[in-house]
Structure 1
Amino acid sequence: MKGPTFSPMFRKFAISYLIVLLLPNIAGYLSYRASADVAVANSVENSRLLLNQSKEILETRLNEVKSFTKQLAINQDLTRLMSETLPEGEHNVYGLWKMSRDISNFSKTNEYLQSFYIYLNNSDVVLAPDAVFFRPEHFYANNRYADMSLQEWREGMLNRIHENEILPLSPYVRSNNPSSVITVVQSLPLNSLYRPKATVVVTINERKVGSLLDSMSERYGGWGFITDGDGNTMLASGIDQADIEQLARVPSGLEEDWRRFENGMLLISIRSDATGWRYTAGIPEGVVKEKANQIQRETWTFNAVALLAGLLIVVLFSYRNSAPIARLLGMFKEHPGTDGSAIRNEYVFLAGSISRLMSSNKELEEELDKQLPLLRDSFVKRLLTGEFLSPGEIAAVSSRLGMKPLPERGCVGLVRMIGYDSESSEEMIHEYNLARLVLKAKLLETMPRLLITDWGSDKIAVLYPFGETESGEAEEEDGFARRLEQASGNALRNYPMTLALATGDSYRTLRDVSRSFDEAQQALEHSAYAGENRLTRYREIVRETEMFYYPIDTEQRLLKTLKAGDAEESLRVLDRVLTMNLAERELSYEMRQQLISELKGTLLKLLDQQPFYDEEFAAAVGSRIAQLQPADKTEKLRSALEWIVNELCRDVSKKKVDRYHETIEAVKQFIEREYANADLSLYRIVEAVNRPEKFVTQLFKEYAGESPIDYLERVRIGRAAELLLENELTIDEIAVQVGYNSGHSFRRAFKRVKGTAPSAYRQSSL
């Protein structure tokens, strides 16, 4: 008798198993090719995203620098210094010192503003943060361009008109330390036609800007550089100028030409629409294809092992299944015996993946818990600076941070620690930090509801929400001031320093916190100016009538609320400005004229910044703004401003509603076009209209009265009802045609919408 290994039945089983074995190997090869291509494409796209992110960060920082120069252009103190005329050799020492002190705060807002100066042409003075140079050559001695003489610096930099000019990378020497800088220059006043009255110069160290491109060399071992529209190198990281000049066939950065493989390198270029600069990165080809090569190695190794194991299994299974049949053919009266087959069902990889996922999730939760105090501190800072646009936004953010809802009423205070003339030594800085921790702990112990955040190196800002059981506002504010003064005095008895305390007026809504904080800052500045070492309240300050009240923060908040279409908040900010200036102060006609000019400038600036205003509407509102006159009565002025604000916000709201309706119609059209797709989900719908999922759901419910998924179900059932009446397809066929995976789910949905089963609905129409 022929052995089972060589029997025809064995060969048939073996051929069948070999065919089954080859199919997954062919599929694995095709999958490998697709995965390798996707891996390369993802690596290229990730590199482009990283380069684009560096571009956006750099442009954002440069825009902040330009915004800083524009803020200086509207600074009244600087305008007065630029325009005043003094006898030769005399200077407005106090004004120059005050201006130098005021501009020092800007260096803390942006690391690109850590080195800047202002040249005043009329007095031939250079203003730097916390320093005044009455002779520019003294400033030039420690801050100069290595390739520019004093005369060239004066003529080419200080006495020439500059309009947001960005100079290429140049060698620079600061305090005998050589470096390279990018320079941003702006002449003042803006749009000067002749010799400027002042020049603002910002020097940005190459290392600060170059860190944006370091990720290309650190992460990929490549390089990156930036060139302006004329091909001048603005910045380079990981590559020399000589190597840049030798590069050939660099992509142009346009959409159709942004990547290219050349000499073993992937060259990626993107072009900035704002500045015309070209950002180029070079990444070794091996790094780009590393994932694809790894996939190739793993795939071939796995396929080889799987093929060898499969051949052994083919022999085993063929023998085991053919042997009983062969014995049955050789033995006429014997009954075939039974042979159980072991079933192997391994889930090692899946179990390992789930274990790793749970471990990663736990690590993520722990990391979020570590970041929670920083996020809460950031929330308090945003609340103090008035960055939130609505109480709903404040409540949502505080809820996400696990904080209790804040009462609508409260008060803001500031505590400044005064103890050392210098904080340069490590021991003094440590002493300040320790004192600040002790002070914060004491304040929280005395007032548990207190919200505290550091404000600079020597100040602490506190926000005290009033309790619901407290009776009167005066009692609340007085009690807070008393507890603040008592707790602060007891906290630092053992430290050689004094405290300056200030409080603003109490607020009645959370959106008014920034106003109370601004008042506390003014009170603190007043106490420093007066040399008083006691708690100073804003309401106790003698109102100065020589200047009007319209700080930059208030202007920015007014612009922000107008852009958002929030008429109520915009009118509240305007009412505060008018009350502070026209009711609580006695402004001279000149100051009133400047105030009206500032308000008109703010509103006209909004019209210029928002391109979506219609020309006719912008002309009408602009004409009404131009009609505002300082001689107008207060009520007439208030009425005119209310009309302008309401018109601007109404136009913004109208355009928002139009965009909302466009979004809803786009959702409906997409659903009516794709309803037959069984994989259609809410994610696919919002992806098609390019809007956030939560936004689309809430918007659709508000304006359409139902969710997008409910509308999808209604469209599907409506089309199914039509097909049922045609009586040409079975119910299961109709279910598939309208996008249901099974007849059972279709029948349940049909009965839920129509109130009857599909079969009964069809019978009722006959």
Structure 2
Amino acid sequence: MNRLWLHRMIWSYVPLYFIFFTFLFIVFVHTMEEQLRLSAKDSSAVFARQMLQSVDITLKSVEYRIIRELLHNGRLADFMLEKGPADVYARYEIAMQLRELKKELAVIDSFYLLRFSDGLAFNGNVLARSSGETMAVGFAAATASGAEGSRWTDVRPFREYPFQQERMVTSLVYPVPDSRQPKGLLIVNVSAAALREQASGLFDGKGTFVRLYDRSGAPVFAQGDAEAVAEGRALAAISSDYTGWKLESGFHGRAPLRSTSGHSLLWMTLVIVIGALGAFSVVYVTRQHYKPIERLIGRIHVLDSQRFRAAGNTGRSGPDEFAFIASAIESLAARSTTSEKRVVEADIWRRKQLIRELLAGAAPPDKLAALTGTQGSCAAAFIVEIDRPRQTFGQYSARDQSLFRYIIGSVAGELAGQSGRELWEEWLSPTRLSAVLFGHCSDRGDRGDPEAGAIGEALVRWVSDYLSFTVTVGIGDTVRSLDQVALSYRQAEEALRYKAALGHGRTIRYRKEDAEGKAEPDTRSQAIRRIAEAYRSGGDEWIWELEQFFERMRSGRLDRETIGERTKALLTEIDLRTSGFCDPYYAQWAGEVLPEARRAAERFETIDDLRAELTAILKRYLERLERLRGLRGHHETMKEIRSCIEREYANPDLSLDYLSSRFPIGAKYLSQLFKEEFGENFHDFLTSVRIRHARVWLADETLSIQDVGEKVGYPNGATFRRVFRRVVGISPQDYRKKGFHPNGQTDKGGGRT
């Protein structure tokens, strides 16, 4: 036998091992790279902070010198306050002092003195009236100082003379002599290029970059090799509390990881060694686990060598080990299952056949003798019938109905088993469970079996508590011989005939006096005449008489057929009395009410159902008579209401309440009168009028669907589409696309709606 499953186990574990091992290695490498990235990010943040601090120190030194100059150089304030003839020497000294300051601070590009009184601007060389450029700088500086707390402006292009090229500068603006009542401004421009040159000395720029932005996001400068500046991803971004500028720094490409390449060979060697040791351990452990299977195969082979050869084992080309074990087990299980199934099916079939023979009285004597010896000589038949099967049981699917039938049969059998009796049951119809309760006869002479009644009542309670419908149980007499079970079964059927009078959800025992009948005084015809006469007069007395009529039938334990016949006799008497009505009134009785009442007398389940339905039918007819008698007084009013609807159909507020406010009729009564006068209710008539006009408007393609809905009283477009589809069968869009005319014809295919 081939060790196929040994090889399969090994090759199923090895790939998983290598996948897991590779995953761990990738995680390790990724962790190293992530650690290096975090280290690079931290170092980049430190570098960016130092670089930004260097820029801030440079700008702060400029601002410090300007403040110092403003505090100690009174000539600047004198220049701003100058009103008489110009002091040329004073201006010369100012120019020389500012040039010395520019020489001292190499980052300063230029400076201005701007006097507010006459708009004079002085740059140390030229006196001129202030231009829009200088004023814009002053305004930007004031705005920046108020919004950000810094007197430095954002980077801007600047040229001192028209013939010069523009260069990027940032400006420091200070009021002179003070910020409370300034007479002018001192504007100092610092070169962005000078700041870039100062920053270039802090790093080599190989694979790294820095980018500095002002408050508006405009670049102040970018430092590093061109590829790093263009493609580098920022690892750190620091904002200055002093200027509000932001500096970004980072690396280009995989520069932080280049230092790890030296250890690659060592790591790969270690991975290969660990992988080889792991693969060896997988093979070794798998072979150790396979040894019990090998011993089991050997024992099966010794015990069933003939079967093993039949399976096709010819040396190493034979079946694998698990196929051999599965074949032996499946064969044994198949033989056992087939035998058990045949025994169970045969027993079920014999039991069902015997139940049918017992209930029909056609059981062979030998079977009766054998059954008497095992189950006893006494038996009682009973029938479990589902109440209102169409209204309750019929709402479930066929699969659910089968499940309910199984549940009811199982519960009945369990209840019989709790009392020490055996129950044989069979569903001879979809709604009737026929059963035989076996037991040994007692010495008592009573015909009723108290245990059969207790089982039936317990079953009725259980179904009522746990299922959504009820059952009624009919029980026959206990017979002392099994060949009389058919008689007990007929008695159970007879008992169920009285369910109409006694009601649903109960246990009914067979009574001989019910079958033989009772003598009844001949007062039935008098009661029927009283009910008909009271109904003809239109008062409420007929309701009480009808209640008494049904109560007498209930107390008499009449079967369903008798109750139905007496009810039809009552309807015939009422028909005779109402035939004297005028034609419109009697036509409704004969054409609608009487057929409906007769159908109720034929299809009822219990006497309570019949009483409730018949009372409701007769009440509705009397109420209709009352309305018909008062209808003629409102005929002209109803015609006016209909005309109003046809005129004002486009009014969204048109409703029964609206009409009741226009006409002296209540909304509810108006709805009733409208239906009786015109044969359809108010809402259906209003909808038909609106949709009829909507078809005409849809022919005008200049109107949108929303516009058409508003023209016919539907301001909500979704409501108009839903109502139109419900009435016409298609949407307004499709109606317009197909070219339907208001009369139902179409230009695109010749069809009709």
| Shared fold (TM-score, shorter chain, > 0.5) | no
Coarse TM-score class (shorter-chain normalised): under 0.3
